[in-house]
Structure 1
Amino acid sequence: MHEPIAEEHTALKIQRHSQLLSAQLQQLRETLYPPEAQKTLRTFTSKEVASLVGIAESTLRQMSLDGEGPEPARLPNGRRSYTLAQINEVRETLAAKKPAEATRFLPRRKPGDKLQVLAVANFKGGSAKTTTTVHLAHYLALQGLRVLAIDLDPQASLSAMFGYQPEHDVGSNQTLYAAIRYEDDERKPLKEVIRKTYFTGVDVVPGNLELMEYEHETPQAIAAGQSRGEGMFFRRIKSVISQVEDDYDVVLIDAPPQLGYLTLGAIFAATGMLITVHPAMLDVASMSQFLVMVSDLLSIIEDAGGVLEHDFVRYVLTRHNPHDAPQVMIVTLLRSLFGADVLTAAAYETTAIANAGLDKKSLYEVERGSVGRETLNRGLEQIDAVNREIFDHIEAVWGR
């Protein structure tokens, strides 16, 4: 009679599966983006540059002929090709040449304009929180803004979108945790954990599982009296962002999908909140609970002396299928309840975003021809509309 095969201990099994999957993901990443050929941003045609900057293509061509601005590369077909850094040079040249229109060409914040810190939040998985954050970061950078993206999610999907696999590329004390942790001798200035990315204008603070340490340590720190004054748990993120305030126009925080100390810190640090909503009944029911809990916890923060000053709070409809009758009904309900607090534009469910996500790209990175033209154009049109509306709110705060 055969002895029964002993079932592998759960902890060992999960550890083994974790190692197998991690190694495979690393191998896959090295195949797609070898270390010696790191992820890069595509170049842009003259037509795309003219559209982004808001000038005629003939004006851009004349600038090139007159030696004004950058020298674009020439493609085999003779057409000009610009990097995003060169597009920003074009902007700077035009802003210097036409001071009265400087803000139109280069819409960065001016002295006295408030740094915009936007927390993208919801504790329901699948609400496209990270996708929303990445597309907004890329969109703002394409307008010439300086963006810092902070990955506060221990699962680190945002970091992966920027080419960092958390368990391989982000070591100990290299996340935001390093800047907000309670041990004085281990803490680092925020600048030391900020990384440049391949996407000109976007810097990132990557995340990994280490961020969970903050959730574990905060109750102990409160009990030990370490969470006081500016060092109070909900003030720490806001405090460290102030260290780099002069370097950026917008800070985007991809909050964790749960309402813990990190999320509360992100909401307190924020000047604006974007709550992503997939308009399906289960998701909206979950969001209702999220709002109840946020309301209760923010009241506790205010009772502890925290002043919440959000310039705007907006609901962002994501993965919306306008042909799905129940979804349309929920969207109508949300608009009737929350009015203008729901963005007018919505991000539709599209294969373009799904396919780009498989390659860890936003729609702004997708090469023309790799996706059907109509599919890509429709996707970009919707994402642009969402991001333009958010940017309008930012510019309104800056008095434009």
Structure 2
Amino acid sequence: MLLTAEHEESSAEKISRHSALLSRQLQSLREKMYPPEAKKKLKNFSSRDVANLLGIAESSLRQLSLNGEGVIPARLENGRRIYTLEQINDLRKYLADKRPADALRFDPRRREGDKMQVIAVANFKGGSAKTTTTVHLSHYLALQGLRVLAIDLDPQASLSAMFGYQPEFDVDDNQTLYAAIRYDDDERVSLREVIRETYFDGLHLVPGNLELMEYEHETPQAIAQGMSRGDGMFFRRMATVLKEVEDDYDVVLIDAPPQLGYLTLGALYAATGLVVTVHPAMLDVSSMNQFLSMTSELLAVIEEAGGSLSHDFVRYLLTRYTPHDVPQVNVAALLRGLFGEDVLAAAVVETTAIANAGLEKKSLYEVERGTVTRDTLNRALESVDAANAEIFSLIQQVWGRV
């Protein structure tokens, strides 16, 4: 009887049933982790954390608080001061005004004449830590005081999930980037209408879901009908809508989909910088080689169509790196030998701290100390910080500060 029932159920029906079952279970798990009345929120920061972020002595921070200058932090029962990220950013502005000579150090946001940086994080090989890299970089830059917009361009919407949005429940139709770049004028909305605030002060998100695939399906037809022209050409549409928010952000981070489709090409064209994540294993490097070959051919097509491509930097980031694994060390040496300084000096190590944080949909910057072994967390943070600091330095170089 079971065999008969299974035989009667088509593959489409079975897959649909499995999708519904899994969707309900994910929703149930999410409600247990984050009840409907609760919202994902960022931890508070200790005086030591704040002093490190601001680059001042902890005693100086304490004196500011005693003098009633800047912001007034909350106090724990043991008397320790704790700060929110919003208060840290207020302190940045206060110190920048108080010490004009060090204003750029305290408040590193772009100034007049500095162009908004658009960084695409890309690779079409699964497991290269593309989304993990994007979320950690977005959190790091926000903690440095920059205004950041993260765009989830992957229909699987893993980046959105990291920010607490379940794509099938929290992101309705016409609430992704697709809504701002779609071809039908009646349904298209401004980019600002799909931007959401996050629990990180200064960090906003354009969420993703499966509707992003509509752009891949509609673009060939739009090209055939002559709808893709000028600024509305398929590879220019993303860059065009980003101009709407150019005054609002210092950096835009795009988590590109894991394939070379029209969305990825749009992201590459809009980008001022490109970070290619690569796991230093031979299979992954072979896949990256195909990615680079196909990308170069497609970008050449864009240039022939009148698109001008000029990135401020292109860098490769080694991810999930195990420094004691001889084959990985050899692959890393191979890449550094071939590409030189285009491979970031820092590599993000493989660690249980990142994996465990990911299971809770958190970055390392959200993890409360004490929930992970101190040495494990410190090693992981040191690795991630080093990579993010290099990328931040590249941004500052473009702005003429390094």
Question: Under a length normalisation based on structure 2, what TM-score does the superposition of the two structures give?
Answer: 0.98
Structure 1 range deviating more: 349-358 or 64-73: 64-73
Going from structure 1 to structure 2, the CA distance change for 1:100 and 1:23 (only over 3 Å counts) comes to: same
% identity of equivalent residues: 73
What residue number does 1:279 align with?
Answer: 280
Deviation at 1:67, TM superposition (A): 1.0
* RMSD (CA atoms): 1.0
Secondary structure of the corresponding residue to residue 246 of structure 2: helix
Query: Post-superposition shift, 1:113?
Result: 0.2
Give SS of 2:247's match.
helix
Deviation string 1:330-369 (CA, Å, 9 cap, x unpaired) is: 0000000000000000000000000000000000000000
Shift in Å, 1:4: 4.1
Displacement of 1:286: 0.4
Q: Which residue of 2 aligns with 1:22?
A: 23
1:41 aligned partner: 42
Q: How far 1:307 moved relative to its partner?
A: 0.3
* 1:184 aligned partner: 185
Residue equivalent to 1:60: 61
Opposite residue 205 of structure 1, the aligned amino acid is: V
CA distance in structure 1 between the partners assigned to 2:36 and 2:161 by the alignment: 15
Does 384-393 or 8-17 show the bigger shift? Answer: 8-17
Deviation at 1:199, TM superposition (A): 1.3
Q: Which moved more, 1:259-268 or 1:61-70?
A: 61-70
3-state SS, counterpart of residue 110 of structure 2: coil
3-state SS of 1:327 partner: helix
Structure 1 partner of 2:200: 199
Q: Whole-Å Cα distance in 2 between the matches of residues 3 and 10 of structure 1? A: 14
What does residue 144 of structure 2 align with? 143
State the partner residue of 2:118.
117
Going from structure 1 to structure 2, the CA distance change for 1:4 and 1:190 (only over 3 Å counts) comes to closer
How far is the alpha carbon of 1:5 from its aligned partner?
A: 4.2
Q: What corresponds to 1:162 in structure 2?
A: 163
Distance 2:318 2:35 in 1: 36
Is it true that 1:365 corresponds to 2:366 in the alignment? yes
1:100 pairs with 2:101: yes
Distance change (3 Å), C-alpha of 1:3 and 1:134: closer
| Superposition deviation, residue 6 in structure 1 | 4.0
Q: Which amino acid aligns with 1:396?
A: Q
Tell me, in whole angstroms, the C-alpha distance in 2 between the residues paired with 1:307 and 1:35: 47
Residue 251 of structure 1 aligns to a residue whose secondary structure is strand
Equivalent residue of 1:247, what SS?
A: coil
The Cα offsets for residues 184-225 of structure 1, whole Å up to 9 and x where unpaired, read as 010000000000001111100000000000000000000000
Say yes or no: does 1:308 pair with 2:306.
no
Alpha-carbon displacement from aligned partner over 1:59-89 (angstroms, at most 9, x marks no partner): 1111111111111010111100000000001
How far has the Cα of 1:100 moved from its partner? 1.3
Give me the whole-angstrom Cα distance separating, in 2, the residues matched to 1:3 and 1:394.
60
User: One-letter code of the match for 1:38?
Assistant: K
The farther-off stretch of 11-20 and 202-211 is 11-20
The alignment partner of 1:246 has SS state of coil
Poorly superposed stretches of 4+, deviation over 6 Å: none
Counterpart position of 2:172: 171
| Structure 2 counterpart of 1:39, one-letter code | K
**Cα distance in structure 1, aligned partners of 2:377 and 2:21:** 35
Query: For residue 217 of structure 1, what is the aligned residue in structure 2?
Result: 218
For 1:395 and 1:115, locate their aligned partners in 2 and report how far apart those are by CA, in whole Å.
11
Any idea what SS the aligned residue of 1:155 has? coil
2:78 and 2:377 mapped to 1: Cα distance?
A: 24
The residue identity in structure 2 corresponding to 1:331 is: A
Give the equivalent residue in structure 1 for 2:87.
86
Q: Deviations over 1:145-184 (max 9, x none)?
A: 0000000000000000000000000000000000000000
2:372 is equivalent to residue 384 of structure 1: no
In the alignment, the residues of structure 1 paired with residue 4 and residue 139 of structure 2 have an alpha-carbon distance, to the nearest angstrom, of 56
Q: How many residues align?
A: 400
**Using the alignment, how far apart are the partners of 2:11 and 2:359 within structure 1?**
30
What is the CA–CA distance in structure 1 between the aligned matches of 2:345 and 2:36, rounded to whole Å?
Answer: 42
**Counterpart code for 2:93:** E
CA distance in structure 1 between the partners assigned to 2:210 and 2:395 by the alignment: 32
Change (3 A) 1:62 1:16: same
Alpha-carbon distance change, 3 to 255 in structure 1, aligned in 2, over 3 angstroms: closer
Cα distance in 2, alignment partners of residues 48 and 236 from structure 1: 41
Q: Per the alignment, in what secondary structure is the counterpart of residue 121 of structure 2?
A: strand
Partner of 2:271: 270
Distance 1:149 1:4 in 2: 49
Letter in structure 2 aligned against 1:381:
E
User: Following the alignment from structure 2 to structure 1, what is the Cα–Cα distance between the partners of residues 300 and 2?
Assistant: 63
- For the residue of structure 1 that corresponds to 2:314, the secondary structure is strand
Taking structure 1 as the reference length, the TM-score comes to: 0.99
Match of 1:335 in 2: 336
Please report how far the alpha carbon of residue 57 of structure 1 lies from its aligned counterpart in structure 2 after TM superposition. Answer: 0.6
Q: Tell me the amino acid that sits aligned with residue 291 of structure 2.
A: F
Unaligned residue ranges in structure 2 (runs of 5+): none
Q: CA–CA distance in 2 between the matches of 1:110 and 1:5?
A: 66
How far does residue 244 in structure 1 lie from its aligned partner after superposition? 0.2
Aligned to 1:294: 295
Q: Using a 3 Å threshold, how does the CA distance of structure 1 residues 88 and 4 change in structure 2: closer, same or farther? A: closer
Q: 1:2 to 1:376 in 2, by over 3 A?
A: closer
